[in-house]
Amino acid sequence: MMRRLFIAVDLSINVVERLVLFQDELRERLRSGYGDDLRVRWTHAENIHLTMKFLGDTSPELVSMLESTLQRLTEPLFPFEVECRGFGAFPEPARPRILWAGLDAKSAEVFGLLQQALERDLQELGVPADPREFLPHITLGRLKSRAAPNLAELQTPFESVSFGKSYIKDLVLYESHLRHDGPRYQVVSRFPLGTH
Q: Identify whether 49 is a catalytic site residue.
A: yes
- The residues pairing with 82 across neighbouring beta strands, listed in sequence order, are 166
Helix then strand then coil, in percent of the chain rounded to 5, is: 35, 35, 30
**What's the N-to-C CA distance of the chain in angstroms?**
34
Measured in whole angstroms, the distance separating CA 121 from the mean position of its chain's CA atoms is 20
SS3 186: strand
The active-site residue, picked from 49, 177, 180, 196, is 49
Is residue 180 among the annotated active site residues? no
CA-wise closest residue to 166 among 88, 87, 96, 110 = 110
Identify the active-site residue in 137, 177, 180, 196. 137
Question: What 8-state DSSP symbol labels residue 160?
Answer: T
Q: What is the 3-state secondary structure (H, E, C) of 77-106?
A: CCCEEEEEEEEEEEEECCEEEEEEEEECHH
Dihedral of CA atoms 100, 148, 183, 129 in degrees, nearest 10, equals: -60
Active site residues: 49, 137
